[in-house]
């Protein structure tokens, strides 16, 4: 049997949840359902935002491989493929070169990670950096050039 205090707590939570949702919508999400959908669509991350995460995971992947934390390296490689899907969706014109980069460079890096081969990793990583910057140049963003930071930017441990 459900005791009274439990019912009271559950009901209280529901009221809070309902009022919280209603409050959030009244604040900024206005108009017809279609207008609301458009508002939400317009604020989805574009390629610039995606690239910030892309490059930060790329850097973490490098230092994790060099620290011997191969699982963290592979996790970041995997997450790069996930976040690039957001860019492929919101900026379909750039989907093809992004997919090509994944199939060529992220795949080669993936092989090196699987074999835990740091020499193979370094070769694939260097090629990938060229691939990043070539795409930037092709897309008329030649002034955006990736350079490996001198130290990892992530607060995570790079050790196994
Ligand atoms: C589609 C080809 C393409 C590939 C492949 C690509 N980029 Fe980009 N990148 C872009 C474009 C286009 C921009 C400009 C973003 C925009 O539209 O505002 C960009 C922007 C950036 C930025 C600047 C983000 C900012 O706003 O400060 C960084 C950092 C970046 N890329 C890193 C990388 C790294 C690292 C790689 C490889 C691991 C990579 N990119 C691969 C197309 C690409």
Q: Which two tokens stand for residue 17?
A: 């949840």
Give the Cα-Cα-Cα angle 148, 86, 110 (nearest 5 degrees).
50
pLDDT surpasses 60 at 12: no
Please state, in angstroms and rounded to a whole number, the distance separating the CA atoms of residues 75 and 53: 13
CB 48 within 8 A of CB 139: no
13 or 55: whose pLDDT is higher?
Answer: 55
Q: Which two tokens stand for residue 64?
A: 């994790």
Q: What is the pLDDT of residue 23?
A: 55
Task: Tell me the average pLDDT of the chain.
Answer: 89
Please state, in angstroms and rounded to a whole number, the distance separating the CA atoms of residues 94 and 46: 11
Q: How far is the CA of 43 from the centre of ligand 1 (A)?
A: 19
Please state, in angstroms and rounded to a whole number, the distance separating the CA atoms of residues 54 and 158: 18
CB 105 within 8 A of CB 127: yes
CB 132 within 8 A of CB 101: yes
Q: CA-CA distances (angstroms) from residue 6 to 11, 13, 20, 59?
A: 9, 11, 21, 49
pLDDT surpasses 90 at 7: no
Pick from 116, 101, 108, 122: nearest CA to 55: 101
When pLDDT is averaged across residues 52-76 and rounded to a whole number, the result is: 98
Q: What is the pLDDT of residue 27?
A: 86
Closest atom, ligand 1, to C-alpha of 105: 38
Q: What is the pLDDT of residues 96-145, one digit of tens each?
A: 999 999 999 999 999 999 999 999 999 999 999 999 999 999 999 999 99
Pick from 158, 135, 138: nearest CA to 54: 135
First to last CA, the chain: 49
Closest atom, ligand 1, to C-alpha of 58: 38
Task: Spell out which residues line ligand 1, taking CB within 6 angstroms.
Answer: 46-48, 51-52, 54-55, 58, 94, 97-98, 101, 128, 132, 135-136, 139, 141, 144, 146
9 or 117: whose pLDDT is higher?
Answer: 117
When pLDDT is averaged across residues 152-158 and rounded to a whole number, the result is: 97
Q: How far is the CA of 153 from the centre of ligand 1 (A)?
A: 18
């Amino acid at each position: 049997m459900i005791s009274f205090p439990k019912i009271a707590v559950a009901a209280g939570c529901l009221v809070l949840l309902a009022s919280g949702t209603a409050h959030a919508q009244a604040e900024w999400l206005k108009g017809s359902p279609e207008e609301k959908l458009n508002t939400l669509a317009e604020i989805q991350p574009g390629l610039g935002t995606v690239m910030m995460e892309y490059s930060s995971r790329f850097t973490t992947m490098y230092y994790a491989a060099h620290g011997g934390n191969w699982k963290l390296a592979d996790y970041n490689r995997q997450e790069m493929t996930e976040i690039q899907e957001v860019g492929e969706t919101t900026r379909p014109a750039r989907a093809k070169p992004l997919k090509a980069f994944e199939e060529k460079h992220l795949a080669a890096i993936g092989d090196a990670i699987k074999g835990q081969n740091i020499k193979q990793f370094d070769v694939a990583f260097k090629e990938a950096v060229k691939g990043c910057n070539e795409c930037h140049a092709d897309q008329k963003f030649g002034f955006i050039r990736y350079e490996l930071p001198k130290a990892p930017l992530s607060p995570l441990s790079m050790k196994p």
